[in-house]
Amino acid sequence: MNIPQMQPQVPSGIPQVPQQQPGTPQQAQQIQQMPQQTQEKLDNISKVKSLIGPLRESLAITLKTAAQTLHQNSLVDVGSLKGVDVPVPRFDKNMEEFYSLCDQIELHLKTSIECLSQGASSQRYLPLQVATTRMEPLPGQDGVQTYPQYLSTVRTQLVYTKEVQDCLMNAAQNLVHGE
């Protein structure tokens, strides 16, 4: 059991308490993994919000690099600078990072739109709630399906969709052969 011990008084009169370090390397690794696990559980909109800060930073760095490159090129054009004395960060690398962040944000937003669309379709075509915690129906719960009932409904819908698709394929083949 690690109990922090009091340190001698500092001139301000406030006792110093040492920070507790994890007891084993395993505990240290678990502490480091905790932020990663919470990041994985974020929904798409939260991921977009978390990418806004790095996007701003990347844009600022990209613009700064562009300004430095433009300034150095103008000095070379005027003749006050003969060659590349000071290495300027690569503009294309910064631009790629910026576009990469934009692409990630776009992907998360498209995924969010698709999730909303699926949710709306689910509400439209299966307006009943699904009780995932219960396997048997409870009396007096109208409008709530158990999970096995939900699976049965989904299977029925899949069979129906396959029948409609087969019917349309047969009709298309009959039109082609009939001509």
In this structure, the answer to whether residues 152 and 118 fall within a common structural domain is no
CATH number at 99 reads 1.10.287
Structure tokens at 119: 């949710």
Low-confidence ranges of the chain (pLDDT < 70): 1-41, 81-86, 132, 134-142, 179
pTM: 0.53
Cβ-Cβ contacts under 8 Å for 43 (sequence gap 6 or more): 112
| DSSP-derived 3-state class of residue 146 | strand
Parent domain of 98? 43-125
In this structure, the answer to whether residues 70 and 82 fall within a common structural domain is yes
Q: Which DSSP symbol is given to 123? A: H
State how far the Cα of 104 lies from the Cα of 53, in Å rounded to an integer.
13
In this structure, the answer to whether residues 153 and 116 fall within a common structural domain is no
In this structure, the answer to whether residues 136 and 111 fall within a common structural domain is no
Residue 37 lies in a domain: no
Residue 154 lies in a domain: yes
- Four-point Cα dihedral 132, 133, 135, 137, nearest 10: -90
pLDDT (tens digit, 9 = 90+) per residue, 129-164?
777 676 666 665 667 778 888 888 889 989 999 999
In this structure, the answer to whether residues 121 and 72 fall within a common structural domain is yes
